[in-house]
Amino acid sequence: MLPFATPAGFPDFPAVTPAAMRETLPRLLGEAEARVAALEAAPAPTWDGRVRALTEATRPLTFAWHLVEHLLGVCNDDAWRALEEEFQPAVVRFSLRVAQSRPLHAALRALRDAPGFDALPEGRRRVVEAALRDARDAGVALEGEARERFVAAATRLSELSTKFANNVLDATKAFSLVLRTEDEAAGLPPSVRELLAASAREAGEAGATAERGPWRVTLERAISGPFLQYAERRDLREAVYRASIARASAAPLDNGPVLGEILALRRGQAALLGFPTYARLALDSRMAKEPGAVYAMIDRIGGPALAKGRAELASLRAFAAENGFAEALAPWDLAFWSRRQLEALYGYSPETLRPYFPFPRVLEGLFGLARELFGVAVEPADGEAPVWHPDVRFFRVRGEDGAVLAHFYLDPYSRPATKRGGAWMDELRSRERRPDGSLELPLALLCCNQAPPAGGRPSLMTLYDVETVFHEFGHALQGMLTRVDDPECAGINNVEWDAVELASQFMENWCREPGPLRALSRHVDTGEPLPDDLISRIRGAATFGTGRATMRQLSFALMDMDLHEKVPCAEMPDADAAQRAAFDRFADLPPLPENRFLRSFTHIFSGGYAAGYYSYMWADILAHDAFGAFEDAGLDDPAARAATGRRYAATVLALGGSRPPADVFRAFRGRDPSPDALLRHTGLA
């Protein structure tokens, strides 16, 4: 029996309080420690004796701590933060101690080397091999001085990554531009003015309003992005742009030395583990396998992206000239003029779509699609399990034979004071065949941040909100429709890091198709679906600017890969040279000499994307190609769509991390992934 669970096995959220955790966690930590110690004393080199036994030994603690982390994300307050601060060190210490355990590592190696290993199911073999790789990458196999150097580098890296992020944060905070006159705010629509007035209020201008200002511009993307798109004062756009490319590049917040040391330490760690570069170490556990595959992808997409991007820039110049702009376009003009061109060409703004997407209708459309494609029924089960907030919905998922497959929570609305931003999917439990033969079902949760219901109307969503729900539901489907009984590789578990976004991004494709768009939309007042004219404009806008956007993504992916594969070498002696090379190849306008983009590239220096930025496009290629199978079969043919959907469910969704992602993809598509569908869908080819 898990702690904090109802008799039916769901988390008993009302009982999960900081006080109850404070009472329970020390016991769970002690028990986990004792069980792991017993396992270390007599480890058996078998699946049950080593892998399962460790999962079991740590299960109650893992479950309870997972609840803490979840509640920190959705019910954040001082009491939960104090609880986290109090117990996190002990929990981290315990998990490091397990990861570094020599006896457990020896038992895992003995299991892999035992004669029976090859007879294990493929999923279990993959779990063992991935665990051995993780242990190797954590330096478990190193001895003596090498081990000390490795551990010292790891400690220093974690300090530097925090320092890098803090420098970016402080440098971002250090800049602000307060607009006080109507002339300075010219061009800003009411929604942006409200954003900027809120930012001014946060900075102490208590009386700031959207109508009268003052309006405060900062370098946070959510603010600087819309400002650069709308502000008519070119000199102010220039000031914001210049500040943003110079972030964290001057003392005392200069990230130049920090990132140099990070790269050197990563190279050193890779060398200690026997890899010629950090990129090769990182990719050893990914679907791409080696940097050559990433470079090949960049070359393949790069050609068409450059061709379309250059044409877009030429057309943007012409549009600006036609509209009275006589000078050469500078970097701070691009967002402004392309927003105006987009409006001129397609004539709608994302906000105007909201009335067409009331939340209940979108859910109906999404669940209808899941039934049609995968044969699953999603039914409301509100009240059957406790929830953490009254707005949270609870659902049950049944398979084609009516058997219950999974449950999930959906927490749709934003609660800025207590819930973190963005959207995410998480699994509180994975599918698992218990030692007594019973089957535990997946329990997923989806969190979004759309506008709550207001004025007697349901939550009205933008198309972006709709895509977000589809995206997270795609992740959840992989967890809920898995057919694997070992939680270590069921659903999204043990899926290679660069392939995880296949199942989620695949679902987003449906939000761009006329049929689903019609099914998802019902105007909140008239009950009408999206008119055909609007649908065709939405589809046109979807390929607007994709050339330049893809060039930008490719420049980041290339820079990241070069930094971790090539620097330092004769042609790229340092990080700045790698940045120059990537921008020379893919920037739409020549970058300013003082561009210091790398100094605020938190993804790769403090965000876990080192030698991994390419994954966005890698997974997108898989997702578009998977959707291409439905196009090949005939999107307007219900029988073909259903048959393809069942095949997708039986492969991508069912097999999860139990087989290599390349094999799973081949099982679905009948061939290796191809970038053609992505190029077609984004209008690049």
Q: What are phi and psi of 406, to 5 degrees?
A: -170, 170
Decide if 266 contacts 564 (C-beta within 8 A): yes
Which residue's CB is nearer to Zn ion, number 193 or number 419? Answer: 419
Report cis status (omega within 30 of 0) of the bond before 350. no
Amino acid at 36: V
**Token reading at 626:** 């998977």
Rounded CA-CA distance 184/136 in Å is 57
Q: What are phi and psi of 485, to 5 degrees?
A: -95, -10
Residue with tokens 């000078």: 327
Query: Segment near Zn ion (CB under 5 A), from 43-51, 234-242, 272-280, 504-512?
Result: 504-512
Which residue's CB is nearer to Zn ion, number 597 or number 609? Answer: 609
Residues marked active site are found at 472
Q: Which of 504, 521, 600, 602 binds Zn ion (CB under 5 A)?
A: 504
In whole angstroms, how close is the CB of 619 to Zn ion at the nearest point? 9
Using CA atoms, how far residue 613 sits from 125, 333, 406, 539, 607, in Å, is 28, 27, 32, 27, 10
Q: Which H or E run contains 647?
A: helix 638-648
Which residue's CB is nearer to Zn ion, number 473 or number 648? Answer: 473
In whole angstroms, how close is the CB of 533 to Zn ion at the nearest point? 32
In whole angstroms, how close is the CB of 92 to Zn ion at the nearest point? 25
In whole angstroms, how close is the CB of 473 to Zn ion at the nearest point? 11
In whole angstroms, how close is the CB of 96 to Zn ion at the nearest point? 27
Burial class of residue 446, CB neighbours in 10 A (0-12, 13-18, 19+): buried
Which residue's CB is nearer to Zn ion, number 501 or number 565? Answer: 501
Rounded CA-CA distance 342/138 in Å is 49
Rounded CA-CA distance 608/611 in Å is 9
Rounded CA-CA distance 480/162 in Å is 35
Neighbours of 539 (CB within 10 A): 14
Which residue's CB is nearer to Zn ion, number 562 or number 620? Answer: 620
Which residue's CB is nearer to Zn ion, number 215 or number 648? Answer: 648
In whole angstroms, how close is the CB of 475 to Zn ion at the nearest point? 6
Which residue's CB is nearer to Zn ion, number 161 or number 504? Answer: 504
Angle between helices 18-41 and 78-99 (to 10 degrees): 0
Rounded CA-CA distance 611/248 in Å is 21
Q: What are phi and psi of 598, to 5 degrees?
A: -55, -30
Q: Which of residues 375-434 bind Zn ion (CB under 5 A)?
A: none
Residue with tokens 């009411």: 190
Which residue's CB is nearer to Zn ion, number 80 or number 614? Answer: 614
Decide if 316 contacts 156 (C-beta within 8 A): no
Q: String of b and e for 394-403 (b: at least 16 CB within 10 Å)? A: bbbbbeeeee
Alpha helix (H) residue ranges in 481-545:
502-508, 514-520, 532-542
In whole angstroms, how close is the CB of 472 to Zn ion at the nearest point? 7
Half-sphere exposure of 12 (CA within 13 A, CB side): 13
In whole angstroms, how close is the CB of 443 to Zn ion at the nearest point? 19
- In sequence order, what are the beta bridge partners of 215? 179
Query: Segment near Zn ion (CB under 5 A), from 122-130, 190-198, 496-504, 591-599?
Result: 496-504
Neighbours of 230 (CB within 10 A): 20
Query: Segment near Zn ion (CB under 5 A), from 308-316, 326-334, 451-459, 503-511?
Result: 503-511
Which residue's CB is nearer to Zn ion, number 503 or number 587? Answer: 503
Which residue's CB is nearer to Zn ion, number 367 or number 506? Answer: 506
In whole angstroms, how close is the CB of 425 to Zn ion at the nearest point? 7
Rounded CA-CA distance 443/9 in Å is 10
In whole angstroms, how close is the CB of 623 to Zn ion at the nearest point? 10
- In sequence order, what are the beta bridge partners of 417? none
* 600 touches Zn ion by CB under 5 A: no
Query: Segment near Zn ion (CB under 5 A), from 180-188, 289-297, 497-505, 674-682?
Result: 497-505
Pairing state between β 443-450 and 424-429: antiparallel
**What is the size of the binding site for Zn ion (CB under 5 A)?**
1
- Find the residue with minimal CB distance to Zn ion: 504
Q: Which residues bind Zn ion (CB under 5 A)?
A: 504
